[in-house]
Amino acid sequence: MAMRTAVRRAATRPGSLPASLASLAEKLLTPHGVDRYLELVDPMLVRREIRGEVVALRRPTRDSVTLTVRPSRAWRGFAAGQFVRVTVDIDGVRRTRCYSPAGSAHRDGELEFTVKAHEGGLVSRQLHEHGHVGMVLGLSPADGTFALPEPRPDSIVLIAGGSGITPVLSMLRTLVDERYPGEVSLLYYARTPADVPYAEELDALAARRGVRIHVRHTASDGRFTAEHLRRVAPWFARATTFLCGPPPLMEAVRALYADAGISERLHTEEFVPPVLTVGAAETGGRIRFARSGVDVVSDGRPLLEQAEDAGLSPEHGCRMGICFSCTQRKVSGVVRTASGEESAEDDEEIQLCVTAAVGDVEIDC
C-alpha cells in the first residue's frame, strides 16, 4: 500500500514519473504493472498504452460527430490515410473499432476523428450520442497500408463517399501543409448538401492553386460516372488514385480502372464489413470454443459475432479483416472467408471477423 501511495503522489505532480521510480514501481507492482495504478489516478498518465482525451466535439451533420482528441505521450504519429483502433468503454465492456484520423499528418499533436452513427452501430452511436469533452479513449498505434507514398506521386486523385472522406481528407490536408507542387483532385459523394461534413473547408481548399474539388450529391447528381471523374481530373489515367467509400462506389471505380487497364494505379480502403455467404444447408454445425468450453450451433454469421453472442469477448478491432486483432487458431473443421475461399486445414490461424463455419469447427478461443 505504501508503494501505491508513492506512485499516486508522484503521478499527481506535473510531468511524468521519473524513470528510476517508474522502473522500480513496475517491478514492485507486478503482475499488474504501474499503468494499472496510474490509470486510477488519471488514464492519460499511462506509459505503455496509448490514451486520448476528447478536448473538443462538434456535430457537423445530423448523424455524425467530430472529435478532437489529444493523445498521450506514447503516441508516435501516423501517415495520412492510416487508421487507428479506437476503444470505448460501454457498460463496462471495452469495444474497439477502426477510424481514420482526418487531420494532417503534420499536426498530430491533436487527432481528429469524424464518426458517422450507423444504425445498430454500438461504438459509433455511443460516440455520437454520449461523446463529451473529457472522455478518454483507448488508441492503438496507427496502422494500414492505405497511405500517401514516399516520394509523393506527380499527380494524385482522391475519390470518397460518405464517411470515406476521413482518410482522403487527411491526405489532402497533409499535401496542402507540404505545399505539394503536383496536381491533386478530390471527387466526393454525399447524399445531399446537408450530409457533407466538411463543406466549408472543402470550398476553401478548392480555391487553392493546384487543388480541384467536386462534391456530388447522389440524391440529385446520381452515383459515380466516368464523366464525373474526367471533369475533376481529366488526367486521372496517369495519376495515383486513392479510393474509400461504400461498396457501390468502390465497385464502379474499380470497374472503370480495370476497363482502362490502370488498376495498378488504384489504391483502396474499405470501412464496410465484407459479406459472408453460407448457405442454409451449411449451417447447423457445432462450433466449439475450446479454451472457453463453450459450444454453439452455427447460424452462418462470422465466428466473432457468434462468440460474442455466446458471452465470449475475443480480442478484435476493425471487424472487417484489416487489423488482424481477432486472429485465433482453428483446431479443426472447414471455414469460409468473405472472399469465398474455404479451408479444411487443421491448426491454422483464421480471422474470426471475416470467417464463418461450414459444418463442425473447433476454435482455440
Please say which residue of 214, 242, 270 terminates a domain: 270
Is 194 contained in some domain?
A: yes
The span from the CA of 330 to the CA of 362, in Å, is 6
Q: What pLDDT is attached to residue 14?
A: 38
Looking at the structure of the chain, the number of domains it has is 3
Q: Give backbone dihedrals phi and psi of 317, rounded to 5 degrees, phi first.
A: -140, -85
Cβ(250)–Cβ(268) below 8 Å = yes
Is 13 contained in some domain?
A: no
Is 246 contained in some domain?
A: yes
Q: What is the CATH number of the domain that holds 168?
A: 3.40.50.80
User: Cα dihedral sign for 105, 244, 54, 45?
Assistant: negative
Which residues, 6 or more positions from 362, have their beta carbon under 8 angstroms from its beta carbon?
A: 287, 288, 290, 330, 331, 332, 333
Is 12 contained in some domain?
A: no
Same domain, 24 and 123: yes
Average pLDDT, consecutive stretches of 10 residues, N- to C-terminus, the chain (365 residues): 37 45 51 54 68 96 96 94 92 85 93 91 91 95 93 97 96 97 97 96 94 97 97 97 95 97 94 71 90 93 92 81 83 90 91 92 94
Same domain, 135 and 172: no
Same domain, 134 and 23: yes
Please say which residue of 139, 166, 199 terminates a domain: 139
Q: The cell 470497374 sits on which residue?
A: 255
Q: What pLDDT is attached to residue 65?
A: 97
Q: What pLDDT is attached to residue 250?
A: 95
Please say which residue of 222, 243, 270 terminates a domain: 270
Residue 63 Cα distances to 35, 294, 298, 325, angstroms: 35, 38, 34, 28
C-alpha cell at 324: 488482424
Amino acid present at 232: V
| DSSP letter string, 118-156 | -TT-HHHHHHHHH--TT-EEEEPPPB-S-S--SSPPSEE
Same domain, 189 and 263: yes
Query: Considering only CA atoms, which of 107, 262, 239 is closest in space to residue 185?
Result: 239
Same domain, 127 and 223: no
Same domain, 68 and 118: yes
The domain containing residue 186 runs over which residues? 155-270
Same domain, 196 and 218: yes
Is 312 contained in some domain?
A: yes
Q: What pLDDT is attached to residue 205?
A: 95
Same domain, 221 and 259: yes
